[in-house]
Chain A
């Protein structure tokens, strides 16, 4: 029998801070974030990588944290929903979800926001099709999705408007 009580040390960065924690060998990154680090923004929706509610960004890659053994994140830099806003200032995507009704019950929201943030960091001017593809791994049962596309596209508009304003200022 595997002695699951033999915990292993794990050191990694979470939202810019180094974290040291002892974890069970096959503990999922999701559970370490939620139970050990009390970062409950990442949700478990399926435990099988189908729904995206547990999405986090590990070294600039969007991953389902329910599929990642925590020890695989050793030395990595992990960004969770709690690290998306800068202090009290919400990210464009968060603001847009709030204003355009992208968030409803709130379970899919963290994963959706991170998927959108990850998309916009790679592709600041996505088409609606790009948005649908980027969010394809995230399921929602409340919103009917439409307001989620609207939110992401509005966030792009905001970011682009700010960019052109700052260009004009230069």
Chain B
């Protein structure tokens, strides 16, 4: 067998392009005769546009068009979402303003300077209405969201929680809140739309899902899906925000159709806070109760999250509570309140990131009531099987994560009393929390092809949002084809390639990787068949089982001097290439198993007792996520996720002015993301785990799990350091004074 590439810390195959600045992102594709578009956003959060003066804007030299609700073409599908990722969009269809920054006009000009200048001259007059952005004002109008197809229901109930609570020895009842957070990938959303005639459209778009985008746009514009081509070779981070087709994509296409030109639309950082989604704020009530020995007897988790007036997206924060611990009595619910804000969306570990803050904080609080070590409490309630789905786990190596992480961190040095550890003047605290994230798989297709020069081309639609898709797919394909990675070229990001799912929910490695593996193996099988059954050659007449593939050469297992290269096999049989396309479905064994990745965070904080400043000083996190496909890119994903957790715990908060419902933290000066100075040394432990059921490649996905639990681990460490329990994120210093 060829030495395996999967698992090795291969350098990113697109790394050279990235370090030389030559990777071409969506806004950078050279398109002839491109016009530049700039969105004008509403300056109220609710009401109607009563007048829109575009005269001055239209007179700016170079302006090609100014689109408003008065002249824009109708887009009948704009308010008809059909897929889970679809959103209602605001694309100049009427005079209503539903949230701050909503697009109310689009200026198209020959240069970016002309378009920006003209956009600044559009004058809107409004009839404004009172806008509400505070959840507590609307909480009485909370309602249960509809269950999304294939997703868990909003409510759950097992056992008898009231009876269990009546006899519990220790109990915690607390309310936790998490703020609105904007994803803020470093690349702003960008689209170049090119209508060719009335019925063909090409979109170069920064998207996490080229096929979802194609479906949404083709329906909305009444085009045949095959006449819409979406290309996205590089995406500069997404984190969920690029998982849906937002208003600007529609607007770029409308502008291209209206002007007959290619139209480039890059939104601004300020607009990243307006109409491309965010993690909604949550209010979460948790009750956790245990018997004297720490056995959990009851968990209740009631979540309310915010959404817009016109769309429904619920942050599924309580799902984690249903499955994480072996507790017989568990009741959870999700409710929504409508506010005068834009629609929220999926954000890195949607549900798990915010929900684990509440659950894992409550467990920490319970550990103090029980005078029990927080880690011991988790081990006491370790779920050997999934208590919610009532199925065995496809694999679960969380116990090893706890023990290896704790040992590396030195958890045993923790003194149980809060405020009992110091480093000079700094208060020192240890906190821990469990991480988990579902391991999903969706249908995906891939094509593998070996060419007569002995190189391979492998294609799958998919996307690389910075995670390393190009790299891991190259590794998987090379192993499946029996070739070295240098001879394999994997390409993605084009709807003319085989169909794949959205890069979200940590499912790309699992879904696309399984298809790529099968496609590669199918081509290898064909090559072996040709070598043993085709025209002549040194292996002719052997059985296929007697032949191995090694770095692009077929070798007899019995007599390794007998070999036949892929080039020779193809040439002798008069073939230019051999290819196979595979449509991979969910692995059958999945339905009998619960599939999740797990991990444990151990975090040390130092808190200034006078000023309340919190510094995260040490992180040890251990993860068991099935097969690790590439140790280098996986480590990057874990660390990146943990630093998102650091942002959730300490920094990130989109603030609105309660008088106007307008966002006041509309840039990276006011919306704080973690910076170099905030990041401590981080030790990532990757626990070996073999999972034969989760999918064809045994990998569980590593994009989201890093953030899960970090909010709680930091809050728990802050409590241990200071004796102050902060139940409202982010933990800013005012909350510790």
Contact = CB atoms under 8 A, between A and B. Distances in A.
A127 to B, nearest CB: 14
Interface string A42-65: 111111101101000000000000
Interface string A30-51: 0100110011111111111011
Nearest to A94: B19
Interface in B225-253: 234-237, 239
A45 B266 CA distance: 11
Interface in B679-718: 679, 681-682
Contacts of A144: 636, 639-643, 674, 679, 682
Given A4-B60, A31-B112, A101-B636, A142 B266 contact: no
Interface string B613-643: 0000000000000000000110110011111
Contact of B636 (A26, A27, A34, A104): A104
A5 B186 contact: no
B186 A141 contact: yes
> Main SS of the interface on chain A?
loop
A132 B12 CA distance: 24
Interface residues of A, number: 62
A84 B18 CA distance: 13
Contact of B186 (A31, A43, A81, A146): A43
A109 B22 CA distance: 11
Interface stretch (B23-31, B83-91, B280-288): B23-31
Interface in A135-158: 135-136, 138-149
A141 B28 contact: no
Nearest to B638: A144
Given A142-B636, A146-B682, A103 B15 contact: yes
Interface residues of B, number: 63
Interface in B185-204: 185-188
B716 to A, nearest CB: 21
B186 A3 contact: no
A36 to B, nearest CB: 9
A5 B62 contact: yes
Contacts of A41: 20-22
A105 B465 contact: yes
A102 B60 CA distance: 44
A106 B466 contact: yes
Contacts of A132: 676-677
> Main SS of the interface on chain B?
loop
Nearest to B466: A105
Contact of A104 (B59, B117, B640): B640
Contacts of B19: 90, 94-95, 97-98, 102-103, 109, 113
B3 interface: no
B16 A90 contact: yes
A105 B467 CA distance: 7
B147 interface: no
A2 B187 CA distance: 31
B17 interface: yes
Contacts of B114: 4-5
B20 A90 contact: yes
27 contacts: A1-B59, A3-B61, A5-B62, A24-B113, A40-B21, A43-B186, A46-B668, A95-B19, A97-B15, A101-B12, A101-B632, A103-B12, A104-B468, A104-B640, A105-B187, A105-B466, A106-B14, A106-B234, A136-B675, A141-B186, A142-B636, A143-B639, A144-B639, A144-B643, A146-B639, A147-B639, A149-B676
Lowest 9 CB-CB distances: which A-B pairs, in order? A41-B21, A105-B466, A81-B21, A106-B18, A144-B643, A107-B236, A144-B639, A5-B61, A40-B28
Given A50-B667, A142-B640, 14 more contacts: A1-B60, A45-B186, A80-B21, A90-B16, A97-B15, A101-B633, A105-B186, A106-B23, A106-B466, A141-B186, A141-B239, A143-B640, A145-B676, A146-B639
